[in-house]
Structure 1
């Protein structure tokens, strides 16, 4: 396919978990003869392959991937570092490719690359210390309710089961006396490339059915054993995620295995709902039913980037 060399594109493939993003991204990479960046913050870590549904070795062999299992859970890695490294990689790839593919379900990480990170004011460090103390004494739910009162917009879009995300939003609300969400989408970094965002979706019942099947498949593939091997490092932030924390409760004797599995499915459904809420905010996204043919999606992409 010919493309004006002045126009460099990033095609971002987004959507809820288990919808088929990996397969589509590989098809696009093959068609456009290009490479793929992952923007799935759970798939960065090499110790967490099964529980994050990372691409299989067969899938990785079908197209060159970047930012897949390139970090250890022992390393600190955040969205700011990812933004810098991802933009550098895209810039390098654009020297030999007019199109680069990015795929992932982590909305914050996708937006960091496509739009740039938001600016937040400096706040008193004591606020975070106090919030951490509240988390320890009163639990996460109390902080979630506080966030719901101070900033319902953020409450409805962030990963509420992630204490760090909740505390970060709260400390900005408390320290600035303004909603965390009020600082979003302000001054952003200009990008040297254009972005076309492709979204995959389905009826909610279908999404939930696919999630149930994926969880069952992950367990059949050894998720229980993988989680057990990471149990002694369960305090690492990367492991505070769906599919691991529930099994850690089972290992702790707090839950039965059946209940832990039901919680994984429930929390994954909630995660998918938050993903859709986040991605639907982008009015420019081209949405496709998950059963849409690759040929039809490619045709639509070509209509938008010629």
Structure 2
């Protein structure tokens, strides 16, 4: 493959900003296919609550990595990187351009840059941190991470216990900040990446998120959560839009409170997504209302 004329167009931005719609327009213009880098849309049991592309949207362009896994599967970013690169190798045989879309920063970076590699640390550190999580709660661990590695604290999914413990065990086990191991030796890619970011004023982003949550509830998100209640212990379901409704279904919260928490947690998630994506200085940002021909024109100029 000649890497000089193979391009991955990566579309990033906060949740509910319009990435799916733009990805389809670009895929149709370049007569190509779409690879999803949204770590929640892999799971076939989680359709409404992850705002996965609709059947109509899926019919408009060929998609990869949508509903291709079960929540029962053990799946992580390392496995995704291998599968995604293998898929791209195949797609680039038939296409000069492939579109990637998704709001999961770690999964996007795994494809475009390769994964970071961390030192081996003593397993007992993770066991101790897991015990601390059970006994003292997540906030204690978050504060530890804030002290040991403020950069990691500001960029990782701080509400995800697994991510917090991973960062902490590296800090403690290596004696160096978790963030110091990021962006070191990466795998070279045999394609070029053009990253397009969609954004808006914060008030607009938050309003779109609130509306999307209302639409999800109207579309049957509560029924979907109810069908998954007995699987709530699975890692895939420890996520915004499900854990809040599980609390309602367990009669710990009222439905109104659960929905408000879904909105609040989604807004916090969007804020973290923007923090992550803004670190990439090569991203070309557009207002979410920008017409697709203008974005396509910019992409084409980048390919010259």
Whether TM exceeds 0.5 here: the answer is yes
- Report the TM-score when normalising by structure 2: 0.99
1:186-226 deviations in whole A, cap 9, x for unaligned? 00000000000000000000000000000000000000000
Alpha-carbon separation, structure 2, partners of 1:250 and 1:80: 34
Which residue is equivalent to 2:53? 55
Which residue is equivalent to 2:24? 26
1:6 offset after TM fit, Å?
A: 3.9
Alpha-carbon separation, structure 1, partners of 2:174 and 2:6: 38
Which residue is equivalent to 1:133? 131
Alpha-carbon separation, structure 1, partners of 2:4 and 2:183: 27
Is 1:41 the counterpart of 2:39? The answer is yes
Conserved 8 A contact 2:4-2:192: no
1:19-68 deviations in whole A, cap 9, x for unaligned? 00000000000000000000000000000000000000000000000000
| Aligned counterpart in structure 1 of residue 62 of structure 2, from 64, 69, 77 | 64
Which residue is equivalent to 1:253? 251
**Unaligned stretches of 5+ residues in structure 2:** none
Root-mean-square deviation (CA, aligned residues, Å) is 0.8
Which residue is equivalent to 1:188? 186
| Regions of 4+ moved over 4 Å | none
Alpha-carbon separation, structure 1, partners of 2:229 and 2:90: 38
Which residue is equivalent to 2:165? 167
1:107 offset after TM fit, Å?
A: 0.1
- Report the TM-score when normalising by structure 1: 0.98
Alpha-carbon separation, structure 1, partners of 2:243 and 2:16: 19
1:256 offset after TM fit, Å?
A: 0.7
| Aligned counterpart in structure 2 of residue 292 of structure 1, from 274, 290, 293 | 290
Conserved 8 A contact 2:28-2:61: yes
Conserved 8 A contact 1:5-1:98: no
1:76-100 deviations in whole A, cap 9, x for unaligned? 0000000000011011100010000
| Aligned counterpart in structure 2 of residue 200 of structure 1, from 185, 198, 201 | 198
| Aligned counterpart in structure 1 of residue 208 of structure 2, from 207, 210, 216 | 210
Is 1:265 the counterpart of 2:249? The answer is no
1:160 offset after TM fit, Å?
A: 1.2
Secondary structure of 2:121's match? coil
